[in-house]
Structure 1
């Protein structure tokens, strides 16, 4: 008998849960100022208000994976884990001292990944990879990125709305993001660019594809690629409706509840279009499977041979 024994990976034992609880508490203390800054800042805006929902969805995904977590093999990967943890902590420190909230919030991703590798290893990280990565959607986007995407989107939507209404016979013209219809001039604001909905709908699309369509890779990919076009199409409908409301009822109707209602309607329409596309993809997949089942080669192969 050999006196040397190779350490084998173990399952997650109840005795180590207190250490995980202590680690979670340390993370909460370290990132409490970050969460407070997010609550008092970006999470109060329409654009980033979905942040708390992203965190709740990530926790729900962890709960759904609890069986895989309990059965995961524990084999620490300290080298890679410490590198990721130190990288995340350095990012957090530099971002907090320089007041760069986007980087500070993003640093939680390598910190969490590093902690998982140190405590449990690669098998556990594979189980928790998506819940951790999904937290990316809770990170507020930098202003320069938002500005770079917002202006072209506003110009594009204004241009399409103007051409459609002009072709329909309305007295309309356009100058950049200024739309002149009848005797009124309407300015297409940043909220009408669709960027707010793109961020939120992207998170919903990724969550939906992972939770319900993960085994259908092509279908999931098409759904994810369709998010931006669907959001732009829904926002076009919103701006078109606002312009027509102003033309028939005056621009005063666009202030307050009507503008907010069209924003909510835009998001609902975008989600419905996403689910409609998913249904159409499901129908197309069913038709293709039936067509393959009725192919001549299969029919010939199923016929009994003669005597």
Structure 2
């Protein structure tokens, strides 16, 4: 069912008001996307969400349009959380509330049928909200140490003498630091986002979809360990220059492609038998 012209105007005005209310948190969030490599994927999330909505255009046109009181509840709750968070200077809940209130607004204005169709594309916008630095700091160090320890063991199996101390790898002629940027947090966030998209596109059961999302974490961690191990082996033969500049960035791209390929293979494996 197509929205009437007056309904389109009302919805456009409400969306405009929603944007004006939440605009104060947008510039700082965009700066976070641009200023930290772990958040660069935030630029892509709105575009992906729009594409997912466009894919559902035929379903939206045939779905019944109504209003939903539950949508109003979500909208009011989102606005309340935003006002409290914004007044208290807490960015993360305010940004989450922005996404939730958008979903509540659309659900309230278009009804349950549209709400079900729009739920994933709109809530997918939560991936554009940067994870708080405190949380990243909490998980990055254990990931650094774990990746360094496993990589040291793998390098030793290649008959290369290496000594590990914390997140440092010491070789005969050089040393290599596994920095916070190499903890794998970036890969985990990116591959989890892609795993969620794969799960959404999948025709498999919900259990298999959950497996697909959760598998993104060990895949990202494994890919990161492979990157550190490979860099360590190259550093042993060619010095620590391989861990800087173009080679470092290029290895990151290669490892991400590897993780994406494994995730794609898992997607095909879990969708071999379609479940009605």
TM-score, normalised via structure 2 length: 0.91
Q: Distance in 2 between the 1:102 and 1:150 partners?
A: 19
Asked if the contact 1:43/1:50 (under 8 Å) is kept, the reply is no
Asked if the contact 2:145/2:167 (under 8 Å) is kept, the reply is yes
Deviations 1:110-143 (A, max 9, x none): 2123212321222221111111211111111112
Q: Tell me which of 222, 229, 244 is aligned to 1:255.
A: 244
Which residue matches 1:84? 74
Q: Distance in 2 between the 1:136 and 1:92 partners?
A: 14
Which residue matches 1:187? 177
CA-CA distance at 1:104 after TM superposition: 1.6
Q: Does 1:105 align with 2:90?
A: no
Asked if the contact 2:136/2:185 (under 8 Å) is kept, the reply is yes
Q: Does 1:159 align with 2:149?
A: yes
Higher relative contact order (CA 8 A, sep 6+): 2
Unaligned residue ranges in structure 1 (runs of 5+)? 1-9, 287-307
Q: Distance in 2 between the 1:282 and 1:67 partners?
A: 24
Asked if the contact 1:117/1:124 (under 8 Å) is kept, the reply is yes
TM-score, normalised via structure 1 length: 0.82
Q: Distance in 2 between the 1:114 and 1:67 partners?
A: 22
Q: Does 1:243 align with 2:232?
A: yes
Which residue matches 1:277? 266
> Where do 1:129-278 residues align within 5 Å?
129-211=119-201, 213-278=202-267
Q: Tell me which of 27, 42, 57 is aligned to 1:66.
A: 57
Q: Distance in 2 between the 1:171 and 1:117 partners?
A: 60
Unaligned residue ranges in structure 2 (runs of 5+)? none
CA-CA distance at 1:215 after TM superposition: 4.4
Q: Secondary structure at the match of 2:130?
A: coil
Q: Secondary structure at the match of 1:179?
A: strand
CA distance change for structure 1 residues 151 and 86 in 2, over 3 Å: closer, same or farther? Answer: same
Asked if the contact 2:148/2:167 (under 8 Å) is kept, the reply is yes
Q: Secondary structure at the match of 1:170?
A: coil
Which residue matches 2:20? 29
CA-CA distance at 1:39 after TM superposition: 1.5
Using the TM superposition, name which of 45-54 and 32-41 deviates more.
32-41
Q: Distance in 1 between the 2:171 and 2:46 partners?
A: 43
The structure with the largest alpha-carbon Rg is 1
Asked if the contact 2:33/2:41 (under 8 Å) is kept, the reply is no
Q: Secondary structure at the match of 2:38?
A: coil
CA-CA distance at 1:280 after TM superposition: 3.8
Which residue matches 2:36? 45
Asked if the contact 2:219/2:259 (under 8 Å) is kept, the reply is yes
Asked if the contact 2:29/2:129 (under 8 Å) is kept, the reply is no
Deviations 1:19-63 (A, max 9, x none): 111112112222222221111223432101111211111111111
CA-CA distance at 1:11 after TM superposition: 6.5
Q: Secondary structure at the match of 1:76?
A: coil
CA-CA distance at 1:278 after TM superposition: 2.8
Asked if the contact 1:174/1:180 (under 8 Å) is kept, the reply is yes
User: Cα RMSD over matched residues?
Assistant: 2.0
Asked if the contact 1:81/1:116 (under 8 Å) is kept, the reply is yes
